[in-house]
A and B are shown apart, each in its own frame.
Chain A
Amino acid sequence: MSETWLIRGARPLGGEPADILIRDGLIDSIGAATAPAGAQAIGADGLIALPGLVDLHTHLREPGREDAETVETGTRAAALGGFTAVHAMANTDPVADTAGVVEQIWRLGRQAGHCDVHPVGAVTVGLGGARLAELGAMADSAARVRVFSDDGKCVSDAVLMRRALEYVKAFDGVIAQHAQEPRLTDGAQLNEGEMSARLGLTGWPAVAEEAIIARDCLLAAHVGSALHICHVSTAGSVEIIRWAKGKGWRVTAEVTPHHLLLTDSLAAGYDPVYKVNPPLRTAADVAALREGLADGTIDCVATDHAPHPVEDKETEWDTAAFGMTGLETALRVVQQAMVDTGLLDWAGVADRMSRRPAVIGRLAGAGGELAPGQPASLTLYDPAARDTVNPATHASRSRNSPFGGMELPGRVVATFLRGIPTVLDGKIA
């Protein structure tokens, strides 16, 4: 598997152009280089080189909903989006709540080979919110699970959440909370505000997210554990997390690309492609999330890639499934929302989409820096490209991209996973 590649003229983290020599799965050198014998060369003038992106929050749907996505199609989508590692959420069927299921998902990822797949283990048996799953067994399995989440459902029982936070300290785990107070969001459909009032859709109030985040920050502080907050969506949540971090508590948080760009006004036509949980919020929330990501209050971008088959979206709003695809558009959306607005530079993007999520996910050898001796997991990105998103061309098995029809900047040109190209010229290698 020894391949030698010379990437000519790429700009590492948007800096000065340099040649990147990849040999034996590692970055051999960065700087002016001549191609060694047998090296394959890529002209990368104008392309940004970033460390391979790491997604803390992906729904691969396998096992159970292979009509929506499989590990194969989902990791293809990930590679095409510039990702070299994804965390596969636990809400599969069967739920990833045992060592057996997480090892199955981990093996499927290895077979697919498009990117690393790190299974997330469920916190509670069957996501039922009643009994802890065998967290230790999943941690000790071949999948080496470190991130645990009931995502899709909130661990709303305060005692159970406390115990989970405490228990995973034994193996340096982290609980990733889907913050949603269930009683305040019974039947909730859309951000509670002007749009939900006008459209007659049951409101999903910001307080239902913020109340759980506040509670869990306090719990994490009390027991000295690591808490990660999934898909932060409101301005108030950003403020609470800023406060908790100011106390020095071990709290991290993610934001999705769609919450950085889209608002609930898109629901006006009742098209469920805009239905997602947590819901799209207001322009003020979007601004606060961007600011939080820029100042580091929010640690990282995570896609919450949630594929659904057409029939689960071509319905009335109330009955449609929650969720949006996002792997193939994430970096482009972040460019639009954060880079082109001057809020983050490319080094900042690398930090929020590669380094920090790798740290939160306890991944050794991923999310590295671009430096000699590091694993050659990286992506080449053309920030000058621009086109209209067409979900029909996506590698994901599903088509529920809210960015369909939108013009976005950027194009992922190539992705390397430990020295092997997974994407070349924008296509699966």
Chain B
Amino acid sequence: MNRHLISAGDLTRDDALLILDTADELAQISDRPIKKLPTLRGRTVVNLFFEDSTRTRISFEAAAKRLSADVINFSAKGSSVAKGESLKDTALTLEAMGADAVIVRHSASGAPQRLAGWVRGTVVNAGDGSHEHPTQALLDSFTIRRHFGRSASSRAGAPGAASPGSASRVPADGALDGLRVTIVGDVLHSRVARSNVLLLHTLGADVTLVAPPTLLPVAVGSWPCSVSYDFDSALPKSDVVMMLRVQQERMNAAYFPSVREYSRRYGLDAARMAQLPDQAIVMHPGPMNRGVEIAAEVADSARSTIVEQVANGVSVRMAVLYLLLGGAEGES
């Protein structure tokens, strides 16, 4: 595995499965009264957030703290960055403070990769511009795996356990072969979509992107997935439907005529949910625009894994930090 986690495309199938299996083990300590391991004691993890994202930041913070790391939160607002300090100078400052890992969220695509060139520590991409959000993709795959009985624990409990619906091709290693995942919404600007397409493909899932043509990259044909403009025809063929957030700024830039029309054509409401196969689940990376891309009754339905995704995020991020920071060596 690479020293940094910048793109989901950097992960081999074995890398990804190792992270997911490790997350499975680490998830168990969340059920204990004392939710803490000494693994990263004495290590410093910096949360470097140039963009507001309370949910991702606290998820990483919780993950690092459960592994006993020292966590420094560095928010760009009101800091030297707001006064014009360059990313490079910020990187050198963190370097001088001895950060072992830098978790970075930035509005510019590629910022984590630039940062990785300037610091010695491990860089974890917590979302960069319209590029990638690899830990979101990992937690999504983790969630899918659990729901379809493919996580390590469910395999151990019931060898060869069939995932409902697509039982024919369940792989022994707990990957997602044969599962049909439909990702719906603003693919063009979505880092969640990019990371998910790459990781889900690596794990063997069949991915379909559904969006208005204006919200797909012109070169989407080169991606390892299928593309459709018609949500309704994709529904019956979906084991997983992943809804993407429609950003406020897209709503006034002629990507679609109106929010209502978008919602009618690409929103997931109860009627569309009824077209899904019985076993299908509904995912959303959050934060949701209820009533736009997802109806409240869908978000709150039994098929929705949205709250579960948040909980799984902590386990997956623990696994990433544990594996990238060589937690195993620290223990011995």
- A–B complex contacts, Cβ < 8 Å, 9 sampled: A192-B219, A193-B219, A197-B217, A197-B218, A199-B131, A200-B130, A200-B194, A201-B131, A317-B108
A318-B219 in contact (CB<8A): no
Q: With A200-B130, A315-B88, A316-B106 as known contacts, state yes or no: A205 contacts B111, CB within 8 Å.
A: no
Q: With A197-B218, A197-B223, A205-B218 as known contacts, state yes or no: A270 contacts B88, CB within 8 Å.
A: no
Interface size on A, residues (CB 8 A): 21
Known: A200-B131, A201-B109, A315-B87. 12 other contacts (CB 8 A): A199-B109, A200-B191, A201-B129, A203-B218, A270-B110, A315-B86, A315-B88, A316-B87, A316-B106, A316-B110, A316-B114, A318-B109
Which A residues fall within an 8 A CB radius of B?
Answer: 192-194, 196-203, 205, 269-270, 311, 314-319
Q: What chain B residues lie within 8 Å of A194 (beta carbons)?
A: 219, 222
B110-A317 in contact (CB<8A): yes
The CA of A193 and the CA of B222, in the complex, are separated in Å by 9
- CB-contact partner of A200 in B128, B218, B222, under 8 A: B128
Contacting A at CB under 8 A, from B67-114, are: 86-88, 106-111, 113-114
The CA of A269 and the CA of B217, in the complex, are separated in Å by 20
Q: What chain A residues lie within 8 Å of B106 (beta carbons)?
A: 316
In the complex, B140 has a CB within 8 A of chain A: no
Q: How large is the interface on B (under 10, 10 to 19, 20 to 34, 35 or more residues)?
A: 20 to 34
Which B residues fall within an 8 A CB radius of A?
Answer: 86-88, 106-111, 113-114, 128-132, 189, 191, 194, 217-220, 222-223
The CA of A315 and the CA of B189, in the complex, are separated in Å by 21
A197-B108 in contact (CB<8A): no
The CA of A192 and the CA of B219, in the complex, are separated in Å by 8
CB distance from A24 to the nearest CB of B (A): 54
Q: What chain A residues lie within 8 Å of B132 (beta carbons)?
A: 200
Q: What chain A residues lie within 8 Å of B194 (beta carbons)?
A: 198, 200
CB distance from B286 to the nearest CB of A (A): 20
Q: With A193-B218, A197-B217, A200-B191 as known contacts, state yes or no: A316 contacts B131, CB within 8 Å.
A: no
The CA of A196 and the CA of B189, in the complex, are separated in Å by 11
B129-A270 in contact (CB<8A): no
CB distance from A265 to the nearest CB of B (A): 13
- CB-contact partner of B109 in A193, A270, A311, A315, under 8 A: A270
The CA of A163 and the CA of B111, in the complex, are separated in Å by 44
The CA of A318 and the CA of B107, in the complex, are separated in Å by 9
Q: What chain A residues lie within 8 Å of B108 (beta carbons)?
A: 316-319
Q: What chain A residues lie within 8 Å of B220 (beta carbons)?
A: 197
Nearest B residue to A314 by beta-carbon distance? B88
Choose among A193, A201, A316 the residue with the greatest number of B CB atoms under 10 Å from its CB: A316
Q: What chain B residues lie within 8 Å of A314 (beta carbons)?
A: 86, 88
The CA of A194 and the CA of B128, in the complex, are separated in Å by 18
Task: List 8 A-B pairs, minimum CB-CB distance, nearest first.
Answer: A270-B110, A200-B131, A197-B217, A200-B130, A316-B108, A200-B109, A318-B108, A197-B219
